[in-house]
Structure 1
Amino acid sequence: MNPIIHSLYEPVTGTWQYIVADPSKREATIIDPVLDYDKESGVIDIRSADKLLKLIEDNKYRVSYILETHAHADHLSASRYLQSVVGRRQSVAPAVCIGHRIVQVQQTFSTIYSIPQAELEKAFDRLLQDEEELVLGSLSIHVIHLPGHTPDHVGYIIGSNVFTGDSIFNPDVGSARCDFPGGSATTLYQTSRRLLSLPEHYRLYTGHDYPPSDRYTDVGIDESRAVPFTTVKQQRLENKHLKASTSEEEFVTWRNERDSGLQTPKLLIPSIRTNIRGGRLPRSSEDGFKILKVPESVIRVS
């Protein structure tokens, strides 16, 4: 049985958020939800997360998990806000889960940003092991390690669908940067070979879409042209960085040269500060992370 998949695009950060549900038992998981944040004003908003909540309510889903593919550096996670609201609605809160190597990322960035270790202990409800299986109604979620973009990165296979996060992008976008601590172009190439070795009909659902110019309108991104998935076959033939005929040496040389000229992501500091805390905001502004207005329902560190 294949799941029901709802793909919701958040255009400010170019992020794909997903709700995946068992069609018979209506049990669901949320993958990579976005908490809206304006860096200049310091305002936190929940409009994107509330769209997820409405979809869950309209379809009468019961949410068992909120899954993160990695510690995102380009958007804040809405996991704890969603957990709080969903938990009140269904009496049992879904578990916020991530790959177990998040501990390595927490250690790295807690030193860089002087985040107290007490705020990172048990930041996530469940740390997932490689090849672990989660039960989703009558379906199974298979956890796979997909490093390269970040060392903690995991993906989730549900039926013939793979939620790849930033481990591969749509063919006309290509690949993600590998210059974050613990990232590696060589490792990302190897991850891509694992994904492209899957059956050709499998769908690879990406964590982002940054549409090239031929998918833009005169006023910017046309959300209707954002694409949540392509098949393994399409990626093998068409991915402009990682198609089947691309050699490891060719990719690694190009990716490293490309990454050396990239700017720091605009929301890197707020994103990392929030996401290694398991989706909890700090109590007040921190260096590089202005917080002036936060909805009461958004969870902060104790």
Structure 2
Amino acid sequence: MSKLSLNDGLPFKADLSVKPDVLAFFDEPTNTFTYVIKDPGSKACAVVDSVMEIDYAAGRLSLHGADRIIDYIRAQDLDLQWIIETHVHADHLSAAPYIQEKLGGKIGIGAEITTVQNTFGKIFNEGSEFCRDGSQFDRLFEDGDEYFVGELRCHALHTPGHTPACMTHIMGDAAFVGDTLFMPDGGSARADFPGGDARILYHSIQRILSLPDELRLFMCHDYMPNGRNVEYESSVKQEREHNIHVHQGVSESDFVAMREKRDATLGMPRLILPSLQVNMRAGHLPPADTNDVVYLKLPLNLL
């Protein structure tokens, strides 16, 4: 198990000769992509960044998007082996436990989930029943960890800055970058959440941009700048040459100044409070109250 700092380079070599099939599912209300990644040599597959819908005003959850993914995996007779979270999302709720219940597979996230759990466990004043050791997940990935989807060799690359637990997952010639990067005309993720850091984010992005030019990069979100159609796939070369926030030639100090100035103008995501409470539990809901009803908390004047 490799535990490298961000300055230690890459703990593995990407294999561009293996080209997994990647299918994107778009959740329009949260601008989120969920991916089904199939091993080209078998029926094994993985799901990255699933979505559970919430009508916040009505207090109602639904799983229509997850059901579409489940139906697709069943129709293709695939074997779901991994359900990956690139990080603890602040803008949508995870459907990972629901998908696992229907299809199996292991739920995985970066090992720094414990930092996120400790931070937001305090913010939401969670009691002793809320474990802060990441045990809600089946696998906690360290930097450089290797795992397999069938015969497809996969690697986890620690890319914090947006959150401490952010990981980029590299599967053959495809990499799933979470919120660390957006399409070139979208720039980069914000770094002002508790535990975020613009300087660390810059170095994480440089790790991604040091990967081979041809590596396909798949985004977790797209906000369609300037009214263009939705897009979700870029490449290391495209990001290095054209990303509006961090293209080649942008210095660390310039990026940090831009990111911090920009973040100061941004409001909190609409679903941050329900999302964090659910996602730090691997997509599970908090325990029901004494009346058998589940409640989410609304802390005031904290974020």
Cα distance in 1 for residues equivalent to 2:41 and 2:243: 35
Structure 2 CA distance for aligned equivalents of residues 195 and 95 of structure 1:
25
Distance 1:211 1:148 in 2: 23
User: Distance in 2 between the 1:141 and 1:24 partners?
Assistant: 14
Structure 2: which amino acid aligns with 1:287? K
Instruction: State the secondary structure of the residue aligned to 2:255.
Output: helix
Residues 1:95 and 2:106 aligned together: yes
After superposition, residues 25-104 of structure 1 pair within 5 angstroms as 25-86=42-103, 93-104=104-115
AA of the residue aligned to 1:113 = F
Residue 214 of structure 1 and its aligned partner are, at CA, apart by 3.0
User: Which of 27, 40, 43 is the equivalent residue of 1:10?
Assistant: 27
Is 1:147 aligned with 2:151?
no
Q: Give SS of 1:162's match.
A: strand
Q: 1:233 aligned to 228, 232, 237, which one?
A: 237
Does 1:158 find its partner at 2:158? no
- CA distance in structure 1 between the partners assigned to 2:238 and 2:61 by the alignment: 38
C-alpha separation between the residues in 1 aligned to 2:201 and 2:128? Answer: 29
Match of 2:151 among 108, 121, 138: 138
Matched, 1:278 2:282: yes
The Cα shift of 1:71 comes to: 0.5
- Aligned match of 1:299: none
SS of match in other structure, 2:52: strand
SS of equivalent to 1:199:
coil
Unaligned runs of 5+ in 2: 1-17, 289-293
Residue 254 (structure 2) aligned to one of 250, 253, 265: 250
Cα RMSD of the aligned pairs, angstroms, is 1.2
- Give the drift of 1:41: 1.0
Q: Which letter does structure 2 place at the counterpart of 1:275?
A: N
The answer to whether structure 1 residue 22 and structure 2 residue 39 are counterparts is yes
How many Å separate the matches in 1 of 2:206 and 2:140?
25
Deviation at 1:35, TM superposition (A): 0.3
Deviations 1:235-285 (A, max 9, x none): 111111011121111110011011112111110110000001111012312
TM-score for the superposition, normalised by structure 2: 0.88
Q: Is the 8 A contact 1:34 1:75 kept in 2?
A: yes
